[in-house]
Every structure is written in structure tokens, then in C-alpha cells.
Amino acid sequence: MTVATVTPTTAPTGAGAPAPVRETRSDRIVMICNYTALGLFTLAVLYPLVYVLSASLSDPKNVVSGKVWLWPVGLSVEAFKAVFDYDSIVSGFGNSVVYALGGALLATALTLLAAYPLSRKGLPGKGIIMALFVFTMMFSGGLIPTYLVVDRLGLLNTRWAIILPGALAVWNMIITRTFFQSTIPEELVEAAKVDGCTDFGFFWRIVLPLSKPIIAVNLLFYAVAQWNSWFSALIYLTNEHLFPLQLVLRQILIQNNFDPSQVRDTAELIRMKELQEQLKFSLIVIATIPPLLIYPFVQKHFVKGAMVGSLKG
Amino acid sequence: MREDLSTTPVKRRAVVAGALGIAAVGSSGLLSGCSSGEAAAGAAPESLSAPPTELGRKKTGINYPPGYVGPVARERRAIVTEPVTFTVVVPQSLTVGDWSKNEFTHWMEQQTGIRIQWRQVAGKGNDAETMTKVNAMMAAGDIPDAFLGIGFTRSQLYLYGAQNLFVDLNPYLDKYAPNLQQAMQDYPEARRLMVSPDKGIYSFPDINDCYHCRASNGRALLNSDWVRKVGLGMPTTTDEFREVLTAFKKADPAGGGKTIPFGGYKDAPLDTYFMNAFLYNPGEPWLVVDDGKVGVTYVKDEWREALKYLHGLYADGLLAKDIFTANEDQIKRYGDNPSGPILGGARVYYWGTLMTLDLVDPKARWRQYQTMEPLKGPGGVQVAPWNYLGVGLEVSTLVVTRKCRRPDLLVRWADFQLDLEVVLRSYAGPDIRWSAKGDKGINGKQSIYGYDSWNTDATKGKTWDQFGVMYRSGDFRLAERVNPKRPTFESPLYEQTRDHLFPFRQPMEQQFPPVTLEADQAAQDAEIGLNLKGEVTTSLAKFVTGKLDPSDDGQWNDYKDRINRIGLQPYLEIQQAAYETYQG
Amino acid sequence: MTTDTLVRRTPAHSAARPKRQALGLGARVRRHWQLYAMLALPLIWLAIFAYWPMYGAIIAFKDYNVVDGIFGSRWVGFKHFERFAESYQFWRLIKNTLILHVYELLATFWLPIVLALGLNMARRRWYRRSVQLITYAPHFISTVVVVGLIVVIVDPNSGVLNHFLGLLGIGPIDVLSNPDYFRHLYVWSGAWQTMGFSAIIYLAALTSVSPELHEAAIVDGASRLRRIWHIDLPAIRPVAVILLILNIGSIMSVGFEKVLLLQNTLNLQTSEVIDTYVYKLGFASQVPQFSYAAAIGLFRSVIGLALLVLANTIARRFAKSSLW
């Protein structure tokens, strides 16, 4: 199917106007079903989110006793105020932003640099290099050796320890490679070469602008992954000022339930519970808002790529 | 004493450049990481040459109850005149905040002259995450002078101590820890609990004698108002208990059929209370000592009888349907039910697990719930499992590593913290007040101290939470002043434990002590223990809820078979050996 | 040079392009030197952070002790593997892990695709954008909260689920205590949580489909559903196949936190998976079990790799797209 075969055989309107999309009965049913299904699914997802938001704005006592189920009961912003009382939460937030941004940029760059060459059909040794990457997805040295490497490189207790070791996710790289394979045909490359364009030039001036969706996806995924991560920080950092938000969150939210014989000072139990109840939902809200905020910016880049599709013929 | 950890740009570049020259897979010389052949003791010779530390004079003006055993306030002197710095790894704590900016840290530095460079590990100190990080540090040879508040197990202390990673504090404790020596006299079992199988003492311990903690694992609460409503008395036998629950169900005090005669939640085991009407059962890991021989409770006939009893209760709807699956939030929801109490009772650690505590109202709901005495079973057994050895002395509070050049100073620093005033400041903050003569403590005797708030927003950043080295004897804890206007639950908790549980405690010899295992044994103990736990708890739940029938011989024998197949015999052998080592 | 000029030029060049002779290997490598240069940085990263630490995998064959270090610890060969294979729960763990993951795969693999297709179809931009935003959010709610919500909903006494079932005349079901329901609970709550997020990849692929293709198809009289079948699905097929292969490769690991929180003594026979077992073992152990955990991890990796290679080979033959 190419552009050339558009013939107005079925268009009921005048020849001059662009052919309108005429909906058949089945189409309309499909559309209605679609909207309904999406709507229902959204509601199913929305309810728990609303619950979390309401709980964060309610008096913690009402949350605990189960009075809150949809709307806030005992409206109060105490929970949010309490959050800001803890320096480690505020600094954690800032750190997480730095890690998310820095990590996303570095990781996306590495991903693109690896995915593009591997998407070109004629590259000798492509299979071997690909296998090298894939192998690391299945096997890893383990925690201690990775730690030793990071230590050897002098990265311990620095921000680089958070950004570097996890910089490339082979999974993302593979998806990106697939994207390049589907949307950058070999003919385009050949044509560019004939015109004197180098590989570098082609990549920089043609491929990247055409790849906005996948770049956006990578940035998003890496940023979110960094935002949610806490394990690297746990292992590599001993400086509290570098801790990301999730690490602080875990401290508060995850209570140690698994050893009943452990001696517990009841006053400590009360205090921990109180903290949890007070901060749990407001922390969740605070931790969830930034990823939600950046999404609309990413969404903008999911635009239909008009040009490239027309070459498929 | 350790160089600054942040790498300068120059150093980092050099290292990365070096790394680039390395081929894909490293060879042995590159990352030896740790020891193998390094010299052991890192202590300087002068660490043992200083004269022994003496205790200062007792301070006056403080009221102690008669017969008081515990920390006292004495005149204290600085430990060093020239500032000395040590690096110490500590857990992260929201209460403590930034350790280096903490008020108590400053006070300690001022008083002792010893400065600490803190390194914080995210994690609570005794959880898997902290241990992962700490082990990674040790693997890289990245060790501090000491660990504070990091919960190494006895087996780990022994393992690393025997390999000289941790310093044997024996010689230092004798000379430089007079407060600890005094505490060890007050608590005779202390030495056996502190010592490793090779007679080394690889940590400076902490004493936290929480009275009610010794029995709370087996506590069960019952609504005494309801008991009165149905015209009965607090039950003392298994039959009476059944009667009371049946009466609850019939009378339906909560209205609308919502009454739950007896509840619980999945992390609070039932066996720690109910099995003790048939045999002494301390709960997981269910090990008991009978005349010097170590055994387990869950394969005995008495255990089976207890299962039959519980099975009957559940079948009659007297136990909550979700007693094995509810989580803590749910049971709290039952307890806090807005229209009135719906729970007749529950097997919980204390009231706070069951509901939000209103500490001001003398008629608050939680006060209706009384600690039950243990029930007497048909065989006449009536035991409240009492934890003599697991509560009180805690090892691994301060662990000194071979990196430390002056272990004697750190020992003195730790011992310094065992003084009464320092203890109070350490966990309660600077706003403590000494009690006047006649002020009553939790146990009704003369109280020593009091404070307005403990571990609240007001004390944030001013204390070391409970991570410091402390001596909190039983008398000390119970000498906290009770504010007549704001009586907390501490008094009832103490009194009810003393009156309803303590009299029924089992003899100390029957308790399986905290033992130390060799590395190989520890591996087996962990795996078999985990599988046993899974089988025992799952089968208990099934026998009680009716999915299995304890009266069915076939099913009971199948259960015992499974237990044996998991490896009960080798497991018991390990425990027996460890027990005998403990006895010395 | 702009894309426009390229587009204009391409058809002519395609027709006139002569058949190239196969060049020698050396020449080909030199021709693509810039591509190799691009690969250099990621490969270096790979070498340092992925391959360098791999020597530590030998921990699985030793009795690792932090003091002795990796090379100083005693060599024990396959002792830990044998221990795992002989352990009481070995078969149950493997079975539970596999079933859970396969179920998850089958049930939820196609859901993000459907969601992406549905979103792509929706023409009202505000509707599409807000649905996207909302469905993507649950991914960020921490597991602890999600499980807390689940527990509230399925509560046999007061939960919403049993309320609805009651309206339909079905008696209250205790979902949490029944080992048979554990898997359903785990899988469908996971679907709810990750569907929106996973749909993003498919959406990105769908947006690169030219709208002219759709217009031409409409003119040719194709209904919506046929258009989806013939245009949209082929567009996402490469990505979907790759994701499927990758998922099969990681079949032996299951996120353990949610499993751990949903576990209780009554559903343990279906809810105990390899990850929770290893976690609990590490926690329960008096001495850290690095070697044992490493051995189990290695065992898992080997199986995963085998499955991955298998899946890849099948995909290459039948679906024409594969990892390598």
C-alpha cells in the first residue's frame, strides 16, 4: 500500500475535500467499547490512588481506624508538615532528583550509542557483541564482587556510585535496537552514504531527530528506575547527605515483622507505629508526584512519525 | 583515624584510567580486597599500659529506692586530654538524625574528649539490609574502628572474632570497664551470655532488662468488662476459657453478630499462649531443655492435645476466622472499632498492637483488656513461658575491630556510658528530672527520674535513640516516674506481668539458651530451621482451621514423618552440641 | 542534508542501486569504524561493571568468608548446588516459581498491548492523555501500600470484594488463606500495577506508524479492527516478541517483596518461591550465606539462559525477529 493508490471510490463526499473517516456500525461499537473499557480500567486504577491521596490528607487516627475509604476524614495537612520536619526526607528528595536526571541522561546516551550500531544489518561481529550484552542480563558477578569493583574505582560514597554501575540496562538497549531496526530502513542509510554522510553524521542529524519517541521512553524509564531505586544507595553510601528518598522511605515504611521473638521495647514500638501512620501516605504522595509530573512532557514526544512510515513501500 | 572518604577528582581520574587498562575479567592480584596473611592484632602496645580505671564517687542528691540494683550516677572525668578520633559505623535513625550534628554526640565529645567520625549505614542495625552493607564493607577491607548498634549475631561475633577481625576485649574489660564489672556482678548469667566458645569476648554488651518483655511473647488479653457482662470470672482453665468464649458468642455484646470472641493476626503466634496449658512451649524455635537434653515441643503428644483443643474452639466459631491471615492493620481496625469493642480478646504482645492507645482517659478502651493468666490444661500444666536468658544482656552493642589502635580508649568510652546520668541522656535526652522523695515509679517504689516525653519530636536530634551502650537494669527501668495525671500503660503492663504471668514461669533450666554456632552448623541450622518453621506453622494453621484433623492418627503421623524428613535429628544434634558448649 | 532531500532521493536510488559484491571482513570492519567507535563507550562500561565483577561468581563454588576474601576462601566445588538440590523444598520452590511466572506471563503479557492499542485508537486527546497518566501511576506506589490495599479489599468481614460477592449471592471467601487463590491475587494485582507503565513501550512503537497507512486502509474500506490487525499489530510485533523472549529468560525470578507480604502460614505451599526462600534464609541465618545464595543465583541464571536461547531460536524461525 503506497500513497499512490488512494482512489476516492468509497468517499461519499466531494472529490476536493480530503476523504473523511467514515465509521461503519462495527467501528462505532468498537470505539464505544474501547472508551468504556478504558474508562472502567482507569476507574479501577484511580480508586486506590484517590485512597492514598485522601489518606495522606486525613487525620492519621481516622486512617488507622478504617474511617477513610474514599474522601479525607478529618482534613489535615499534618502529615505533609511532618514530612518536612525531617531533614533526611528533604535532602533525600533533592538527591533523588539529581540521581534521576543524571542517571537518565547518562544511561540514555549509552543506550543509544549501543543500540544504533547493533541495529545496522551489515555490521560484522554484531551477533557476538549482542551476545556479550545479553549474557550480562543473565549472569552477574554478584553483590560482593560488584562492590569490590566500585571500591577499587574509588567511587564508594560518591554520587557516581549511584549513577554509574547501573547505567546501562541491556533490556532497554534491546528495545531501542528493535525500534531502530523497524524505523530506520537500510535504504535510508545507503542514500545518506552516497550523499557523503558519515555514520556519525547520519546518527546525529537523521536518526536522533526521528527517534524522539524512543529517546523519550528511555529517559522516562531510566529516570523512573533511578527514582525508585534504593539498593545501590544502601550498599555504596555511608554519607547520609547523599541518600535518596526511597532509602529514607523504606526506613519508615517497612517494619521488621519477621522475628516475633525479638525483644521490643513497647515505647519504641509505639513510636515506630506512630511515625508510620503519620507519614506513610504523605510520603507515598511525595514520592509519586515527580514521576507523574514529568510524564506529560514525555507524552508530547509520542507524536506520529509521519515521514518514516511513508518509506515502507 | 581513617583518611577522608571522598575521593578527589585527581585521584578518581587516575583510578579510572587505571581501570581502562584492565582486560575484561580480572585476575587474582587485582582484587584481593581483604586479609589472607595480614597481621592480626592492630592494637598499639600502649593500649594496655595505662593504669586501670577507677570509679568516681557516687553523686548525692538522687533518690534511689531501697535495695536498688542498677546504674548509679558518679563523678566522671574526661577519658583523654588530647582529642582522639575514631571512625564508627552506625545505623541510620530518624530519631537520632545526623549523628555528627546530634546534641548527645556533642555532649559526649565534650565530656570524654573522644571524637567520633560517624559513618551511617541505611538500615535499622539488625536487619538484612544493614548486614548486607556491613558485610560488603568488610569484604572490601573497608572497616571502621568500631561498629555501634550493628546487630551481629553471636555466631558472627565468634566467627570474625576467632579470625581476629574483631578484637577480644577480655584484657580491656578487666582493666578499663569498672561499670561493666559491677553490672556483671548484678547479673550473674551475664558472663556466660557474653562469651564465645573460644572464651573470647568480641563485643561490649548492653544490658536492657525489660521486665514485661520476658513474658509478652505469650501474652493474651481478655475483655474483662465482657467477662463480667456474661456473669463469669476470668478463666483459669481450658474449659473455663471455652465457656467464656461461648458466652461471648451467645451474648453478642458487640451487637449485630459482629462479636469476635477471640482474635489474633498472622505475625502473633497462638502456640506461645495456648500450648502452655499442655506443656512448656516458648514458641519459635520451639526448643526446650529437659534434664540437659534438648528437644522440640511440636512432635509431642501434648502438642497434639493442644491442637485438638484449638481445633475445637475454631470449629465452634470461637476463634476469629482470619486469625492466621489478618495483618496488624486489620486487627487494629477491629480493636479501634468506632461503635464499640468487638473483640473479646486476642493473643497480642500488648495493648498497642490491638488498638490505638488513649493514655489520658482513665476509662479508655484498652484498660478493659486484662492480661490472662496461663490456662491450666486437663493434665494440670499451667505455664507462662518466661525468657530469662534472651532478654537482658544484648551482645554486639559495640564491636571493636582490628583496625583500632587504641581499643582501651573505646572500652573506656563505652563503660563511661553505663553511668546513670549518661544512660538517661543517651536515650531520653537532656530534659530529665530527678524525682523527689515520695515520687512513685512504675513498680510503685521510689522513682529515680522522670521525663516529659520520650522519643518524640521534642527529642529529635538530641538522643542516640537506643543505640548507645547502656545499663538499664530492671530496677532502673521500673524506677521511671509515673505521672499521676498521665499514667501510661507501663504500670499496668508491669503489674499484670508480675501478677498474672511471673508466678507461673517455668524453671530457668528448661529454657534453651542463646547459643553460638560454628559457620557450618549455622548454615544447617538456618536451612533446616527455616523448613521446620514453615512446616510447623503451616500444619498448626491447618490442624486448627480444620483442613487437617489432629484426631486423625494417619494425618498426625504423616505430619511427624514430614518433620523427620526435613531433618529434625541432625538439627537437634547441632543444638545439643551448642547447648553443651554454652554450659561450659 | 535534511530528511526531506533524503526522502525525495530514495526511490530513484533504490531502483538504480547496483548489487554489491561481498567485501572482505577487514574491509567491512574498516568501513564501519565509526559504528564501532560508538559502541566503544558502552562496551567499556560493560567490561568494567558487568564483566569485571563476574570473577566473583566463583563464590558459589567456595565457602565464602569475608575475612578470607574471595580467593582465600576454601574451594568446595558443587557442595552448595547439591545442598540446594537436596533441600527439602527444592521441587516445591521451583514449581511455585515457574508456575507463578508463567501464569503472570500468559495472563498479563497481552494486557499492555491491548491497552496501548485502545489508547492509540482513542481520538479525544484529553481522554487518551489522562487515561495514560492515571494508569501509569500505580507503578510508583510502593509494594507495601499495594498489599495493604489488597488486604483491605479482600477482608472476609468488611472488604469490598466480599461485599460484591455477597450481592451476587456468593458466600464470603477468605482469599488470603487459600493457597489456590494466592497466584490469582499476585498476578492480577501485578497486572493492575504495571499495565499502564508497560503500555508505554508499545505506544511509542505505535506512534511511529504513519497515519497515512491508516488513512489508505480506511479508504479501502477496512474496519477499525481489521486496521488494528493489519497495521498496528505488525508494528509492535518486533517489540512484543523481544519482550516475550526477555520475559521467558527471567522466568526463574519473581519479585519477592510482594510475595513476602502476601504470604501467610496457610498459603505457604504455593507462595514460597525461590526468592523469598533465599531472603528468609539469609535473614534467619546466624551467619550470612553468601556462597549458598550465589549458588542458587547461578543455578537460576543457567536455567534462564537456556530458556532464553530456546525462546530466541524459536522466535527467529517463526516470528522473524530475535535477539541475535
Residue B57 has pLDDT above 80, yes or no: yes
CB contact under 8 Å between C67 and B163, yes or no, is yes
Residue C141 has pLDDT above 90, yes or no: no
Which regions of B122-248 does DSSP assign to beta strands (E)? 146-148, 204-208, 221-223
Chain B partners within 8 Å of C93 (Cβ): none
For position A103, what pLDDT does the model report?
95
Instruction: Indicate if B52 and B187 belong to the same structural domain.
Output: yes
Lowest pLDDT segment from A86-95, B516-525, B550-559:
A86-95
For position A185, what pLDDT does the model report?
83
Lowest pLDDT segment from A86-90, A230-234, C254-258:
C254-258
- For residue range C154-173, what is the model confidence (pLDDT) as tens digits? 777 667 777 777 778 777 77
Residue of A nearest to B391 (CA): A263
Confidence grade of residue C95 (pLDDT, cut at 50, 70, 90) = very high
- For residue range A27-43, what is the model confidence (pLDDT) as tens digits? 788 888 888 888 888 88
The mean pLDDT value for B156-181 works out to 94
Residue B63 has pLDDT above 60, yes or no: yes
For position A256, what pLDDT does the model report?
39
For position C324, what pLDDT does the model report?
75
Is the CA virtual torsion B467, B472, B478, B482 positive or negative? negative
* Threshold 0.90, pTM exceeds: no
**Residue B238, Cβ neighbours under 10 Å: how many?**
22
Lowest pLDDT segment from B31-40, B381-390, C104-113, C130-139:
B31-40
CB contact under 8 Å between C69 and B538, yes or no, is no
Q: Name the residue facing B538 among C266, C281, C286 (closest C-beta).
A: C266
B343 in a structural domain: no
For position B423, what pLDDT does the model report?
95
Of residues B579 and A296, more confidence is placed in B579
Closest CA to A85 of B428, B29, B406, B459: B459
The mean pLDDT value for C230-242 works out to 84
Of residues B99 and A206, more confidence is placed in B99
Highest mean pLDDT among A116-130, B439-453, B505-519: B505-519
Residue B29 has pLDDT above 70, yes or no: no
For position A23, what pLDDT does the model report?
60
Confidence grade of residue C215 (pLDDT, cut at 50, 70, 90) = confident
Which subunits have 3 or more CB–CB pairs within 8 Å of chain C?
A, B
CB contact under 8 Å between C219 and A113, yes or no, is no
Share of chain B above pLDDT 70, in %: 92
- For residue range B280-310, what is the model confidence (pLDDT) as tens digits? 999 989 999 999 999 999 999 999 999 999 9
Of residues B10 and A36, more confidence is placed in A36
B462 in a structural domain: yes
Confidence grade of residue A311 (pLDDT, cut at 50, 70, 90) = very low
Whether B75 and B108 have beta carbons less than 8 Å apart is answered as no
Of residues B516 and A224, more confidence is placed in B516
For position C75, what pLDDT does the model report?
93
End-to-end Cα, chain B, rounded Å: 39
Residue of B nearest to A82 (CA): B457
For position B7, what pLDDT does the model report?
36
Instruction: Indicate if B418 and B532 belong to the same structural domain.
Output: no
Residue C316 has pLDDT above 70, yes or no: yes
CB contact under 8 Å between C67 and B531, yes or no, is no
H helix or E strand, kind and range, residue B450: strand B449-450
Confidence grade of residue A302 (pLDDT, cut at 50, 70, 90) = low
CB contact under 8 Å between B517 and C286, yes or no, is yes
Highest mean pLDDT among A117-121, B389-393, B411-415, C97-101: B411-415
Closest chain B C-alpha to C77 CA, distance in angstroms: 16
- Per the prediction, chain C carries an average pLDDT of 81
Task: Scan residues 283-312 of C and list those with Cβ closer than 8 Å to B.
Answer: 283-290, 292
Q: Where are the domains of chain A?
A: 23-76, 81-309
Residue of A nearest to B348 (CA): A260
For position B545, what pLDDT does the model report?
93
Burial of B123 (0-12, 13-18, 19+ CB in 10 A): buried
Instruction: Indicate if B175 and B89 belong to the same structural domain.
Output: yes
B102 in a structural domain: yes
Chain B partners within 8 Å of C264 (Cβ): 266, 324-325
Of residues B546 and A271, more confidence is placed in B546
Closest chain A C-alpha to C324 CA, distance in angstroms: 6
Grid coordinates belonging to C288: 550470612
Whether A52 and C145 have beta carbons less than 8 Å apart is answered as yes
Chain B partners within 8 Å of C284 (Cβ): 526, 529-530, 533
The mean pLDDT value for A306-313 works out to 35
Residue A86 has pLDDT above 70, yes or no: yes
Helix (H, G, I), strand (E, B) or coil at A14: coil
Chain A partners within 8 Å of C323 (Cβ): 130, 134, 174
Chain B partners within 8 Å of A156 (Cβ): 5, 140, 142
For position B148, what pLDDT does the model report?
96
Closest CA to B299 of B572, B68, B517: B572
Which subunits have 3 or more CB–CB pairs within 8 Å of chain B?
A, C
Confidence grade of residue B110 (pLDDT, cut at 50, 70, 90) = very high
Is the CA virtual torsion B450, B452, B455, B459 positive or negative? negative
Of residues C112 and A265, more confidence is placed in C112
Instruction: Indicate if B457 and B567 belong to the same structural domain.
Output: no
Tell the CATH superfamily of the A81-309 domain: MetI-like (1.10.3720.10)
Domain count, chain B: 2
H helix or E strand, kind and range, residue B288: strand B287-290
Closest CA to B297 of B332, B271, B324: B271
ipTM: 0.80
Instruction: Indicate if B466 and B558 belong to the same structural domain.
Output: no
- For residue range B322-348, what is the model confidence (pLDDT) as tens digits? 899 888 878 888 888 888 899 999 999
H helix or E strand, kind and range, residue C96: helix C90-108
Q: What phi-psi label fits residue B372: left (phi over 0), alpha (psi between -120 and 50 degrees) or beta?
A: beta
Whether B275 and A252 have beta carbons less than 8 Å apart is answered as no
Chain A partners within 8 Å of C143 (Cβ): none
Question: How many Cα atoms within 13 Å fall on the side-chain side of residue C224?
Answer: 20
Confidence grade of residue A271 (pLDDT, cut at 50, 70, 90) = low
B164 in a structural domain: yes
CB contact under 8 Å between A134 and C323, yes or no, is yes
- For residue range A50-80, what is the model confidence (pLDDT) as tens digits? 887 888 888 777 776 666 777 888 788 877 8
CB contact under 8 Å between C67 and B165, yes or no, is yes
Grid coordinates belonging to A266: 513497647
Closest chain A C-alpha to C189 CA, distance in angstroms: 10
Instruction: Indicate if B540 and B464 belong to the same structural domain.
Output: no
DSSP assignments along C37-60, one per residue: HHHHHHHHHHIIIIIGGGGGGGGG
Instruction: Indicate if B116 and B188 belong to the same structural domain.
Output: yes
Instruction: Indicate if B50 and B197 belong to the same structural domain.
Output: yes
* Domain limits for position B170: 41-207+391-429+448-471
Confidence grade of residue C222 (pLDDT, cut at 50, 70, 90) = confident
The mean pLDDT value for A227-247 works out to 86
- For residue range A136-163, what is the model confidence (pLDDT) as tens digits? 988 888 888 899 999 999 998 899 999 9
CB pairs under 8 A between A and C: 326
Confidence grade of residue A22 (pLDDT, cut at 50, 70, 90) = low
- Per the prediction, chain B carries an average pLDDT of 87
Task: Scan residues 148-187 of B and list those with Cβ closer than 8 Å to C.
Answer: 153-156, 159-160, 163, 165
Tell me the domains of chain C and their CATH numbers.
Answer: 82-318 (1.10.3720.10)
For position B575, what pLDDT does the model report?
96
Grid coordinates belonging to B277: 496449658
The mean pLDDT value for A217-239 works out to 87
DSSP assignments along A198-245, one per residue: -HHHHIIIIIHHHTHHHHHHHHHHHHHHHHH--HHHHHH---GGG--H
The mean pLDDT value for B38-58 works out to 75
Residue B196 has pLDDT above 90, yes or no: yes
Instruction: Indicate if B84 and B142 belong to the same structural domain.
Output: yes
Lowest pLDDT segment from B576-580, C56-60, C142-146:
C142-146
Put simply, whether B34 touches C (Cβ < 8 Å) is yes
CB contact under 8 Å between A206 and C324, yes or no, is no
Task: Scan residues 36-65 of C and list those with Cβ closer than 8 Å to B.
Answer: 44, 47-48, 51-52, 54-55, 63, 65
Put simply, whether C216 touches A (Cβ < 8 Å) is yes
Is the CA virtual torsion B59, B61, B66, B72 positive or negative? negative
Residue A300 has pLDDT above 80, yes or no: no
Share of chain A above pLDDT 90, in %: 17
For position A98, what pLDDT does the model report?
94
The mean pLDDT value for B556-569 works out to 96
Chain C partners within 8 Å of A10 (Cβ): 219-221
For position B23, what pLDDT does the model report?
29
Chain C partners within 8 Å of A52 (Cβ): 141, 145
Of residues C15 and C320, more confidence is placed in C320
